[in-house]
Amino acid sequence: MEPSKKPLNLLLKKLNDRVCIKLKNGVEYEGKMVNCDGYMNIVLEDAKEYRNGELAASLGSLVLRGSNILYISISPQEKS
């Protein structure tokens, strides 16, 4: 696999961009990704929590553990 195609390299290029992260328990978080490490732990700012597609909470800063992440969307669609 080419170095530029590795998932972590792609995430690092998207620092300070908005992302949507879905956890294994079905909860989604959307916010500005400000940090990511080799374990795919993610730090979000201006984070919002969505449950069943509905806004559940506005959280501010948030750390998500990489082992709980199901997927990361680097170009999320706006939620209503």
| Class of residue 39 by CB neighbours under 10 A (exposed 0-12, middle 13-18, buried 19+) | exposed
Asked whether residue 58 is domain-assigned, the answer is yes
Asked whether residue 79 is domain-assigned, the answer is no
Q: How much is the average pLDDT of 16-28?
A: 96
For 35, residues 6+ apart whose C-beta sits below 8 A from its C-beta are: 15, 42, 43
Asked whether residue 18 is domain-assigned, the answer is yes
Asked whether residue 80 is domain-assigned, the answer is no
* pLDDT tens digits for range 34-77: 999 999 999 999 999 999 999 999 999 999 999 999 999 988 77
Domain of 18 in residue numbering reads as 3-73
Asked whether residue 11 is domain-assigned, the answer is yes
Confidence at 26, pLDDT banded by 50, 70, 90: very high
CATH number at residue 44: 2.30.30.100
Higher-confidence residue of 77 and 80: namely 77
Number of H helices, E strands in the chain: 1, 5
Asked whether residue 78 is domain-assigned, the answer is no
Asked whether residue 8 is domain-assigned, the answer is yes
Tally of domains within the chain:
1
